[in-house]
Chain A
């Protein structure tokens, strides 16, 4: 059972900022939050990772509130090539075995 919840899909226009939120109420104390991007028939690609507060790199920002029960991936000024599925990944230890499970992901469609 996936431990993350994301919106199923989002549409945006080129040049806009896109924010995708992930809910992870049972995140482990020592776990990081990692976001991946996946294009059709390709493997997921690492975008960004964080533990708390804010992380920024050349492609995205990640905002994590103090309680760490959610996170928001922010993509500034999206283009058509950002159309993809975006997954957030955190650990899951509820079954007694620590593992990382992909949630359903968010299908982002960028329109011209």
Chain B
């Protein structure tokens, strides 16, 4: 298995809803990442988990809450989002732990989130 799987592919939620995005990889990768991408912009790093510990939080608002239940799974819990949070949310993983080396990331196909 050489893929990063993200579910759901599409999500529409209201500003008072609570939802979660899920990411899974079975490549034995040691670091997992959440990125946010707005239209026609590059992906922006949100969170990094390395060896199941949160290593980087890029000053992301608390309405986004990451969780890494085990080495293969990464969740992003969403609560009280704003319309401007609508974006493509990408999960990625890398073989090396965070900051050890850039051996390349494997990205999932993303979750298209729309906040209404």
Contact = CB atoms under 8 A, between A and B. Distances in A.
Interface of A: 2, 30-32, 34, 36, 41-46, 49, 87, 89-91, 97-105
B69 interface: no
Contacts, number: 56
Contacts of A2: 42
Contacts of A49: 102-104
A90 B102 contact: yes
Interface in B100-114: 101-110, 112
Main SS class of interface, A? loop
Given A34-B105, A42-B109, 18 more contacts: A30-B101, A32-B101, A32-B102, A36-B107, A41-B110, A43-B4, A46-B106, A49-B102, A49-B103, A49-B104, A97-B56, A98-B99, A99-B48, A99-B56, A99-B99, A102-B42, A102-B43, A102-B44
Question: How big is chain B's contact interface, by range?
Answer: 20 to 34
Given A43-B108, A43-B110, A91 B45 contact: no
A65 to B, nearest CB: 19
Given A99-B45, A100-B45, A89 B102 contact: yes
A52 to B, nearest CB: 14
A42 B92 CA distance: 12
Contact of A103 (B42, B45, B92): B42
B102 A42 contact: no
Given A43-B107, A43-B109, A99-B56, A105 B42 contact: yes
A42 B101 CA distance: 25
Contacts of B81: none
A1 to B, nearest CB: 12
